[in-house]
Chain A
Amino acid sequence: AQKVTQTQTSISVMEKTTVTMDCVYETRDSSYFLFWYKQTASGEIVFLIRQDSYKKENATEGHYSLNFQKPKSSIGLIITATQIEDSAVYFCAMTPASSSFSKLVFGQGTSLSVVP
């Protein structure tokens, strides 16, 4: 069974700085997908970025990028030039590539507060 762990409960950063959120995972699958979602104050869950385990290049999407360290089973999310509206709870998730259907396993979430 898969397991996803986010040890940072909450982070507070100054606006326009860079923040990294940690995530480690456990899986016996050789191929899998890793995702980051954010949950806004209104409850909306928004997909941010994805990393395919067989790709060595770190995924990037706008001001989001990933630090994928496969030997460490680690997939950190990096947000550059943070904005107030980036304040949210960020969830790391994974699913095995062999799965016929999405069956996301989520971490506990990291609450990010971006202050002026």
Chain B
Amino acid sequence: GPKVLQIPSHQIIDMGQMVTLNCDPVSNHLYFYWYKQILGQQMEFLVNFYNGKVMEKSKLFKDQFSVERPDGSYFTLKIQPTALEDSAVYFCASSSRDNANTEVFFGKGTRLTVV
């Protein structure tokens, strides 16, 4: 089936540094999402993105977070600067249509460890 690829699978970074998480969504999808999962807890919505714009974000999407998809390449989540509480698994997802009942495809996640 359709695959969302996330690179890298695991990243360790010093607190205060910048990190960029990369996502290669399903090729014909236009709607992109990031979710955050702290170890042992449920996934929580961070942000959705369409046509070059953030459409909706949660309170977890702090000012230090930003997303973009320059020129149809990777959909990225940038955290600058990172904090210890940013340690989590970040899941990228994509979908083809703009309604809530469309199947969303998830990547395998990037485990971010901030030390």
Is B50's beta carbon under 8 Å from chain A?
Answer: yes
Chain A residues near B (Cβ < 8 Å): 4, 33, 37, 42-45, 47, 50, 52, 91, 95-109
Closest 6 CB pairs of A and B: A45-B106, A43-B108, A106-B42, A99-B100, A106-B43, A95-B100
* Chain B 87-111 per-residue mask, 1 if CB under 8 angstroms from chain A, else 0: 0010101010011111111111100
Residues of A within 8 A of B82 (CB): none
Q: Is B75 engaged at the interface, CB distance under 8 Å to the other chain?
A: no
Secondary structure of the B side of the interface?
Answer: strand
B55 proximal to A (CB < 8 A): yes
A97 to B102 alpha-carbon distance, docked (Å): 10
A98–B100 contact, CB under 8 A? yes
Pairs A–B under 8 Å by Cβ, sample size 26: A33-B101, A43-B9, A43-B109, A44-B108, A47-B103, A47-B105, A52-B101, A97-B100, A97-B101, A99-B100, A100-B99, A100-B100, A101-B31, A101-B48, A101-B50, A101-B98, A102-B93, A102-B95, A102-B102, A102-B104, A103-B45, A104-B35, A104-B45, A104-B104, A106-B43, A108-B41
Contacts of B14 in A (CB 8 A): none
Task: Provide the residues of chain B in CB contact with A98, threshold 8 Å.
Answer: 100
> B residues within 8 A CB of A105?
45
B91, A45: Cβ atoms closer than 8 Å: yes
* A37 / chain B contacts, CB cutoff of 8 Å: 106
B102 to A, closest residue via Cβ: A102
Instruction: Evaluate contact between A91 and B42: CB separation under 8 angstroms.
Output: yes
What is the CA–CA distance of A105 and B9 in the complex, to the nearest angstrom? 24
